[in-house]
Amino acid sequence: MLKIAQSYWQRHPDQRNRASAVITAVEVLGNLNDHNAPHDTIWQQINLFHA
């Protein structure tokens, strides 16, 4: 989901809002390494999504 082009999100703002809700839930988790997930990779993609 995080690697989908910005142009897609611009054409589908309703889905962008849903994706944002999921991202917010992930952001609350903080350090994703604590959850056996690749923290740096995911946060990099989250930052690109927000850009």
Per-residue model confidence as pLDDT tens digits over 1-51: 888 998 999 999 999 999 999 999 999 999 999 999 999 999 999 998 888
pTM, two decimal places: 0.76
What pLDDT was estimated at residue 2?
85
What pLDDT was estimated at residue 50?
86
- Three-class DSSP labels, the chain: CCCCCHHHHHHCHHHHHHHHHHHHHHHHCCCHHHHCCCHHHHHHHHHHHHC
